[in-house]
């Protein structure tokens, strides 16, 4: 990143959130530095209270490599592991080195590596498309395998379709299925995964930042829904290519059960945006679909391929959330558990 753009050019703040992945984060930032060449702004690395020496390791590397020249790369400490949205909010609020807000915020996962033109493609699109509030990249694995990151908003119908796992039902409810086939050309979608997403700062000023009640999962869904309700599109750009390893910080690939904060986030998304009755109905439809899937597998002697205890945990969790416990307190308990682990 040796060629900063002219001061009059649109500014981009790239945020890389680190949680106990210092080496991977530095590789991600190295790729981002190349992709930011010629673009005004800078990169901010937010350590999400890793408490494993990540902050010191990253800070020392940035200084020794001279990446901090002209404050183009900065390292800051969140001070609390508030999750994905809260950590990125720390970076957004910090803004550019001079304290001003950028024109665009680009969120990049610490295990994601943008192609040299990936950030420029997103920037050019948003500059040329005022109705688009957010833009996201084509995400693929190290071997070139496509990662599904384009989606519809979850609904009662999608909860049933996703849990019943039956071809005729899926075909009937095809317009409600959450996954959207990866577009081959620029296309508006409901929401995108936040591994590589550029956001217009003026839209964030209007609708607010990430909802920090979400510790992890559903925060991008909620943000894109708020943007859509305010009249802004979320566009998927296959020309912006980013390599993504996936689940490095969360350890999702090693999960044997869904963590409690996933259930917290799901319930909060539905109840916040559609009301508690809708959230309860969505859970009921998920349980109905899951029960039918169980019966079909029982009759046909097929493997269910469902996370152990998933439906039982969901019904217990959501009944407690509906009858006794506010979602915010559940999420705080999840944060405390994660911070202690």
Domain ranges of the chain: 11-146+182-253, 254-340
Q: Is 5 in a helix, a strand, or coil?
A: coil
Residues in the chain, total: 341
* CA dist., res. 317 & res. 260, Å (int): 9
Closest by Cα among 289, 285, 288 to 165: 289
Distances (CA, A) of 262 to 174, 217, 252, 331: 25, 6, 11, 9
pLDDT given for residue 327 in this prediction:
45
Q: Is 278 in a helix, a strand, or coil?
A: helix
Residues 115-122, mean pLDDT to the nearest whole number: 98
* CA dist., res. 73 & res. 29, Å (int): 9
Q: Over the stretch 206-245, which tens digit does the pLDDT of each residue have?
A: 999 999 999 999 999 999 999 999 999 999 999 999 999 9
Is the domain covering 11-146+182-253 a CATH 3.30.2010.20 domain?
no
Residues 165-181, mean pLDDT to the nearest whole number: 96
Greatest CA separation found in the chain? 67
pLDDT given for residue 339 in this prediction:
43
* CA dist., res. 89 & res. 15, Å (int): 9
- pLDDT band for 341, please (50, 70, 90 cuts): very low
Q: Which of 8-17, 251-260, 304-313 has the lowest mean pLDDT?
A: 251-260
pLDDT given for residue 307 in this prediction:
83
Residue 252 has pLDDT above 60, yes or no: no
* CA dist., res. 17 & res. 252, Å (int): 17
């Amino acid at each position: 990143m040796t060629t900063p753009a002219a001061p009059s050019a649109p500014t981009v703040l790239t945020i890389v959130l680190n949680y106990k992945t210092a080496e991977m984060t530095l590789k991600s930032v190295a790729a981002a530095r190349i992709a930011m060449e010629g673009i005004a702004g800078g990169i901010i690395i937010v350590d999400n209270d890793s408490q494993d020496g990540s902050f010191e390791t990253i800070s020392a590397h940035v200084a020794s490599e001279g990446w901090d020249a002209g404050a183009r790369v900065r390292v800051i400490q969140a001070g609390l592991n508030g999750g994905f949205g809260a950590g990125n909010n720390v970076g957004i609020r910090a803004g550019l080195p001079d304290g001003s807000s950028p024109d665009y915020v680009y969120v990049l996962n610490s295990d994601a590596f943008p192609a040299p033109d990936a950030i420029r493609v997103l920037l050019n699109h948003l500059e040329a498309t005022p109705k688009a509030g957010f833009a996201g990249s084509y995400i693929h694995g190290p071997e070139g395998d496509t990662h599904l990151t384009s989606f519809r908003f979850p609904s009662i119908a999608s909860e049933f379709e996703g849990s019943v796992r039956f071809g005729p039902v899926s075909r009937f409810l095809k317009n409600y299925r959450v996954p959207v086939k990866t577009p081959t050309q620029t296309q508006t979608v409901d929401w995108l995964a936040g591994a590589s997403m550029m956001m217009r700062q003026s839209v964030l000023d209007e609708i607010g930042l990430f909802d920090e009640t979400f510790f992890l999962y559903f925060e991008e869904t909620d943000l894109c829904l708020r943007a859509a309700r305010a009249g802004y599109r979320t566009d998927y750009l296959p020309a912006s290519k980013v390599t993504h390893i996936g689940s490095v910080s969360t350890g999702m690939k090693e999960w044997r059960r869904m963590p409690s904060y996933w259930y917290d986030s799901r319930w909060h998304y539905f109840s916040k945006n559609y009301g508690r009755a809708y959230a309860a109905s969505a859970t009921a439809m998920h349980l109905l679909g899951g029960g039918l899937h169980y019966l079909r597998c029982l009759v046909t002697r097929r493997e269910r391929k469902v996370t152990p205890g998933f439906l039982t945990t969901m019904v217990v969790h959501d009944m407690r959330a509906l009858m006794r416990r506010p979602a915010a307190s559940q999420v705080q308990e999840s944060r405390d558990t994660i911070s202690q682990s």
